[in-house]
Structures are given as C-alpha cells and as structure tokens.
Structure 1
Amino acid sequence: MTHSSRPRSMDSDPTVLSEQTAAQVLARASELDQFRRAGSTVAELRVAAAEAGIAVPDFDAALAEVQRQPSASAARPRNRTRRAIIQAVAVMLAVAAMAVVVRGTRKVQEAVSTSSLRDEAIILQCLAPAEAAELIRPLLTLSGNQVVVSPTSAPRVLTMRVTADQLAQVKARLAPYEAAGSPSCATRPAR
C-alpha cells in the first residue's frame, strides 16, 4: 500500500474518533510539533503554561519528570513554540467545548422526549409478557422508559411508559408475533 505525500482532506476520512482519542491525538500532535520546531526556553514554556491555565507546581513537576528522562535535550529557543503550544491547547479546549455542546443537545432532546412519555398497556394474544418485553427493550432507549410485566395480576398484559413514536415501534415489532397463524400463536395453549 502506498501513501500519498499530499495531506488528506478532512472530508475524505470518515473515521470518527471518540473525545478521549481526539484529545490524545491533539496532545501528541502538539508534542511532535514542539520537537519539530526545535524547542523553547523553560521561561517561555512556563509563560505558555500559565497562559493555558496550568498551575506552576504542575508545570514544575512535569518539567522535572521530563528532565530526568535520558532523552531530554536542550534546544534552541524559539518564540513560535509558545504560540504552537497555545494553539494546541486552544484546539483541545475547542474539542472539549464541542463535546459539552453535543452532550447538552442530547440531554435537551432526551428531556423533550421524556416529557412526552405516557403509560400504555397492550393485551397480548400470543406472546407471554416476558417474551414481548425482551423483544421491545432495544426500542426503549430513553431514561424514563419502563416495561412492567405482572404475570399473576395481569398475565396477558404488557404495561409500558413510552412516547407515541416508541409505541408505534413497539406495535410494529410485536405485530408479526401476535398475528393469527404466527408460530407464537400456533404454539400457545388455548385457555
């Protein structure tokens, strides 16, 4: 397999990375960029870390760890490294902010959906309520969804807390099993 030397367009790679993986990629890219640009003075890095909101003791501890490693080497100071660090931190913060917005949007959507939940009951002709509950559980993805099976007090009733859309999906999922002549109806003993 040969690799082109041209950079790939963002649209050409449909791979979606998790938030954690994206942060790791950006952090590593920042490290590689630092090394490629030949480094920075400790004073410049300390200022950049402070501007990025990193506490001085944390910076000093990280510096001490890195300096203890045998591969740490002094490099020529460059102002562009500080700018690159700030840009990398800004990109990571932007990714984190987008993740918060996406999560918030999902929570709002679920809150709207959850507010439209209602209790519904289906009288089953063929399936046992426990069998029907197992068939429909994958459709019930909201935190407020419920399925209640009461074999002693209501042996043929499946009670649910669902939205109108979910109820339609549940009925569609159960229809082939509840239809006259279906295998589940044919094996059910008469009462």
Structure 2
Amino acid sequence: MFPAEMHPFQKFKSRQLSSDEILPYQPKVKLLRQIGTAPLHQELVVSKAEDGFMYSTFSNQQISFSKDSCELLAQSEQIDNYQVTKTGIMKKCGGSIQTWYWRYFDLKKSSLSYYKSKSDMFPIKTIKLIDVHIVRNEQKLFSMTTSDNERLWQFETKTKQESEEWITALQQASFRSK
C-alpha cells in the first residue's frame, strides 16, 4: 500500500539491468510520471528495491511504489501501449452553454485525453473508447458516443483530411478496446 502522501504511478517504462547495476528486481522500472510528483516525461530511476517496494528520488523527495504492482503491470502492459497514436488540436463542444473550445488531444491505446494546451501536464478529461460510434456531421465536423458514459462528444478539425484521420484513429482505438 502506498503511504498517504504518495500516489500510484500512471505510466512506466522497463528495461533490463546492465551487469554493473545491482538491484534485486528485473526489469528495472523507470517512471514516466508519478501523479503530483514529477512533470510529464520526467524519468525517475529506481535507486533501490526492498521489502516489496521500489524507491526513487525526485526533487530531494523519496518516492515509493509496490514491486508487485510493477511486476503485474510489466506482464499485462507493454511499453507500446503508452505510445501516443495520434495528437493534435481540435475544437470540442462542451459546457452547459455548448461553447466550442480549441483543445489539444492525444490518443493512446484505447483512450482519448484532452488538455487546455499542449504544455499542460494533466488532462482535463480522458475518454475511454469503448464501443465508439462516430457520425460525420459535416466536412470538418464529427460526433462520437461511447458506451463508457453514453455522452455525445462533438469535434471539429481544421480540414476534412484531419477529420478523416481522427475518425480512422478513433475507430482503430475502439476496436483494440473490445
């Protein structure tokens, strides 16, 4: 269990230890981000492993996480699952007034996250792409519903080609989640 001040990590990378590194756990885990601790894409190198926990240091603060969690994730998730499939800027209709806002989107595995800007560390929301149904409304406008929350999501791109690319990528991501 994580101490109260620690948060479980969201993403990680793994690699085999080289012969000069001594850690009782293989593969050596590197974190891409630990919620509220390290900026996005900051790699945290595991410094030691003992008593069922892995330890790392960031900004003079020790971070701990369960070895069992790492092992389970290493077996069930591959590094490729966290690679971004598609990124870009689209308009999203939202809010109670149905206002259109430009947002930065990234599509990873079977989820679509959107941010206020590309530099934001945490998404405004992440949409699980389960049983996605997409409707082309106009050349640059399309709508999407998911069985996750059955909400209607409306998007607009700058060009028709961009719209088609997003539709294809979203459909492929939905197929992977089934």
If the TM-score is normalised by the length of the shorter chain, which range does it land in?
under 0.3
TM superposition score normalised by structure 2: 0.23
Structure showing greater relative contact order (alpha-carbon pairs closer than 8 Å, 6 or more residues apart): 1
Please, what TM-score do these two structures have when normalized by structure 1? Answer: 0.22
By percentage of residues, which structure has more strand?
2
Q: Which protein has the bigger helix share?
A: 1
